[in-house]
Chains A and B, each alone.
Chain A
Amino acid sequence: MNFDPRYSGRSFTSVGTRPIRPDGVDKVTGRARYGADFNMAGQLVGRVLRSPHAHAKIRKIDTSKAEKLAGVKAVITAADLPDLTDGDAAMYDILDNCMAREKAFYDGHAVAAVAAVDARTARQALKLIEVDYEVLPHVVDVDEAMKHTAPLLNDAIFTEGLDEKPVKPSNVTKRTQFGHGDIQEGFGQADFVVERSFKTEQTHQGYIEPHACVANVSSDGTADLWVCTQGHFVYRQHCAQLLGMEASKLRVTSSEIGGGFGGKTHVWAEPVALALSRKAGRPVKLVMTRDEVFRASGPTSATSIDVRIGARKDGTITAAEATLRYSCGPYAGMWAEIGAMTAFACYKLDNVKTVGYEVLVNRPKTAAYRAPSAPMAAFAVESAVDELAKEIGMDPVDFRIRNAAQEGTRSSYGPVYGPIGIGPTLEAAKNHPHMKAPLGKNQGRGMACGFWFNFGGQTCTDLNIGMDGSVSLAVGTVDVGGSRASLSLVAAEELGIDYGQVKAVVADTSSLGYNDMTDGSRGTFSSSMATISAARNAIKVLRERAAQTWDIPVDDVIWEKGHAIAKGEKYGNLAALSLKEIAAASGKTGGPIAGHSELVADGAGVSFATHICDIEVDPETGSTRVLRYTVVQDAGKAVHPTYVEGQYQGGAAQGIGWALNEEYIYGKDGRLQNPGFLDYRIPVCSDLPMIDTQILEIPNPNHPYGVRGVGETSIVPPLAAIANAVSNAVGVRMTHIPMSPPRILAAIEAEREG
């Protein structure tokens, strides 16, 4: 990579403006094509048979009757998706999750699938598949699963990370620890100590668009996959590996995406659709129902967290400790580890220790959800921080400012911070009019901070200049939040042309080099870096073409405001050549003009936010209303401020739903009781106030424009900010998320009864 990513401190013409997004018209007129909107000639309907049991041994699957049903073209089981993972444990888990092998691990686990001429026939065929289950005891609660008496999900798992190698298998796959200093000594210096236990229930990302794809495997072994995903290159790798294909023979095209938030970062049904198509010899469309989305995809961890924080009378935190237990579903994960890393990341602490436990339960495979694991840890820590401030008698914002991490602070997860934005977000919150607005009866205000790492990653971009001077930008990161607009702004900025001259598309996997997926808040950070690099490479070609036209050395040609300019007095008579003019003549000066870039965008820079929330609680019913909500977050540089604000608002909206209503509810039989939006209630417009935003711009030193990722951090503070607001409104510390009306009412009544 011959590209200097350092921040240059330049001024901007296009970046920072708010043009309309290129995908906007198609989305509001219904023309945009999502996962289920694509069809192929001769396409079959795929359907999946799912386990009704939370935990069961699969003794036998008899598909013979289904195969004989007229209109059924293929029936598959795990036998059609053999293990080709070659010892890759993470991929094996994904494979087993796509199609159960020896055991069904949760209610909704796929055990067989059919492809038929229509949906009715496919559904009939599922009913004809006979599965002989041996039902096993199950466990869905994270604390219960850790007990020695709990049913074991996998007797080959022995807890990693213990001082002594365990001799018995366990549902706890791993213990991890972070921190520094001496917490006992730290607590010894404390005048006040707060110690509490918290729980958060499992939630789904709640993407409106279900998982959907159309797979077509040809008889020559090549294949096409149209799919709703956050990373079509990653899906290609996964599917190729699981089906034993060469990656280059599988072309994956990403559709528009109706939400992912981490839930579309690895495959679920796509290998099944490809296996069905391979067996049937025809294209197969597979679309999950909402029931399937809830039961078999997505959810984040349920957690159980203990926090202890001590501080001196002057408000200085002397020690902080947390034990975090996160459910992983039936497969090992690193969810508690991330929680343990992020829990105290906002603070400057001399003595800190966090311990994480990854716990297997009979629930769906845990997936990333927007700053995965951080919101739950922040809920526990920020609740305790608020309570400690109260005990000391300090304003909660001032208490946080006093203890906020800054440049040079050793983070709780290890490294020393460079320039960071937690202090400025707190100062901005302190000075925000929201903090001074009066509150009424039964109303409470809460605030909280949040941290997320942000990532970069492998990125590849093409920029092609047409003979009419218009610019096509082909990127490989899926546009989940308006990045085509942002990246067009970046291309326009570099080339010195109008935004309207640039058209960005998300290219398929056969048209561009590998790209990591759009996760870790990396889409605009990474692809803008690659776009800058590609545009600069195109400018080199433009300068060469101008030099050729003028018959002068290329070193005498500079690029300014969309024009090639011959520098120096000796070229005084040469009129500048515009991009359009150079493009029009390109056929006679060497052919097409393009810029390419492949790079690893690293140095994304950590991100912080502070949120403020006002809540009103009805003490008779426990119902809540969010009155006002403010997000303050550092964006580094907001390329398209409207879409940065959209990310801030979206994270807050999801956090509000998580904090107040959303939860997976399991029956005693281990079956999910609320797999639908009627019973699993996400916020709708009427539940939310206008979410106010304040963008801070503290440049990232590792990006030419100073850009930081903005997509995830905004979901970290809401659980805590809302819990602090509710606690202040009702005068009782809330320790269990979601704070649904029955839970709030129970907390109020328990307090009354003493």
Chain B
Amino acid sequence: MVEVTLWGSLAALAGGKSKVEIEAKDIRELFRKLAEQYPGLEPLIEKGIAVAIDGTIYRDTWSKELPQGAEIFLLPRLAGG
């Protein structure tokens, strides 16, 4: 079980919850279960969400494991120049 923190706009789509607990071993499973439990998140997950694991931001590595006790933070997928 990992605790996941959602940024403001995402929390609104998860029924106002800024923290949710999910049983997930990697980012792929996390996104799948988030979409199942909070269908409002699915379009944003499809568009792209970044996941910060202990401060390091992952945008596309859905196979990245979520270590027990790690800080998991969902962030908008940003543009760069």
List the interface of chain A (C-beta within 8 A of B): 1, 160-161, 174, 176-178, 205, 261-263, 265, 334, 337-338, 341, 368-372, 411, 413-418, 453-458, 519-522, 600, 602-606, 702, 712
Say whether A458 contacts B60, CB under 8 Å.
yes
A-B contact count (CB 8 A): 104
Q: List 22 A-B contacts (CB under 8 A).
A: A160-B9, A161-B9, A176-B7, A176-B9, A178-B7, A178-B8, A334-B78, A338-B78, A341-B76, A368-B79, A371-B80, A414-B7, A415-B71, A418-B55, A453-B57, A454-B80, A455-B78, A520-B81, A602-B60, A602-B64, A603-B57, A606-B55
| Contacting residues of chain B (25-62) with chain A, CB-CB under 8 angstroms | 52, 54-61
- From known contacts A414-B73, A415-B71, infer whether A455 and B80 are also in contact, taking CB-CB under 8 Å: yes
A262 to B81, CA, bound (A): 4
A524 to B51, CA, bound (A): 22
Say whether B79 contacts A519, CB under 8 Å.
yes
A53 to B78, CA, bound (A): 32
Measured between beta carbons, the chain A residues less than 8 angstroms from B1 are none
Measured between beta carbons, the chain B residues less than 8 angstroms from A458 are 60
A413 to B59, CA, bound (A): 16
Interface residue SS majority, chain B: loop
- From known contacts A414-B5, A415-B73, infer whether A265 and B79 are also in contact, taking CB-CB under 8 Å: yes
Say whether B71 contacts A416, CB under 8 Å.
yes
Measured between beta carbons, the chain B residues less than 8 angstroms from A205 are 81
Q: Which residue of A lies closest to B60 (CB)?
A: A600
Say whether A334 contacts B76, CB under 8 Å.
yes
- From known contacts A458-B60, A602-B64, infer whether A368 and B55 are also in contact, taking CB-CB under 8 Å: no
Least CB distance, A533 to chain B, in whole angstroms: 14
- From known contacts A265-B79, A334-B76, A416-B71, infer whether A455 and B59 are also in contact, taking CB-CB under 8 Å: yes
Measured between beta carbons, the chain B residues less than 8 angstroms from A368 are 79-81
Candidates A177, A369, A372, A603; contact of B56 at CB < 8 Å: A603
Q: Give the top 3 A-B pairs by smallest Cβ distance, nearest first.
A: A520-B80, A262-B81, A415-B52
- From known contacts A416-B54, A702-B56, infer whether A372 and B7 are also in contact, taking CB-CB under 8 Å: no
A76 to B76, CA, bound (A): 37
Least CB distance, A411 to chain B, in whole angstroms: 8
A542 to B65, CA, bound (A): 33
Q: Which residue of B lies closest to A342 (CB)?
A: B78
- From known contacts A415-B73, A415-B75, A458-B60, infer whether A372 and B9 are also in contact, taking CB-CB under 8 Å: no
Say whether A604 contacts B57, CB under 8 Å.
yes
Least CB distance, B36 to chain A, in whole angstroms: 22
Q: Which residue of A lies closest to B73 (CB)?
A: A415
Measured between beta carbons, the chain B residues less than 8 angstroms from A261 are 81
Least CB distance, A372 to chain B, in whole angstroms: 5
B12 located at the interface, meaning its Cβ lies under 8 Å from any Cβ of chain A in the complex: yes
Candidates B56, B59, B60, B79; contact of A334 at CB < 8 Å: B79
Measured between beta carbons, the chain B residues less than 8 angstroms from A370 are 81
Say whether B60 contacts A416, CB under 8 Å.
no
In addition to A416-B55, A457-B59, 6 A-B residue pairs with Cβ atoms within 8 Å of each other are A161-B9, A205-B81, A371-B80, A414-B75, A415-B52, A603-B58
Say whether B55 contacts A265, CB under 8 Å.
no
Candidates B8, B55, B63, B81; contact of A519 at CB < 8 Å: B81
Say whether B71 contacts A161, CB under 8 Å.
no
Least CB distance, B59 to chain A, in whole angstroms: 6
Measured between beta carbons, the chain A residues less than 8 angstroms from B5 are 414
Measured between beta carbons, the chain B residues less than 8 angstroms from A712 are 80-81
A54 to B60, CA, bound (A): 39
A555 to B18, CA, bound (A): 52
Say whether B56 contacts A605, CB under 8 Å.
yes
Q: Which residue of B lies closest to A603 (CB)?
A: B56
Measured between beta carbons, the chain A residues less than 8 angstroms from B56 are 418, 602-603, 605, 702
Candidates B9, B12, B59; contact of A456 at CB < 8 Å: B59
Measured between beta carbons, the chain B residues less than 8 angstroms from A334 are 76, 78-79
- From known contacts A371-B81, A414-B7, A416-B71, infer whether A602 and B55 are also in contact, taking CB-CB under 8 Å: no
Measured between beta carbons, the chain B residues less than 8 angstroms from A263 are 81
A442 to B58, CA, bound (A): 48
Say whether A372 contacts B52, CB under 8 Å.
no
Say whether B79 contacts A161, CB under 8 Å.
no
Say whether B81 contacts A372, CB under 8 Å.
yes
A177 to B7, CA, bound (A): 8
A500 to B41, CA, bound (A): 51
Q: Which residue of B lies closest to A371 (CB)?
A: B81
Least CB distance, B42 to chain A, in whole angstroms: 14
Least CB distance, A111 to chain B, in whole angstroms: 27
Say whether A369 contacts B61, CB under 8 Å.
no
Measured between beta carbons, the chain A residues less than 8 angstroms from B9 are 160-161, 174, 176
A453 to B76, CA, bound (A): 12
Scoring B12, B57, B64, B79 by chain A CB atoms within 10 A of each residue's CB, the highest score goes to B79
Least CB distance, B55 to chain A, in whole angstroms: 4
Candidates A176, A265, A338; contact of B8 at CB < 8 Å: A176
Q: Which residue of B lies closest to A205 (CB)?
A: B81
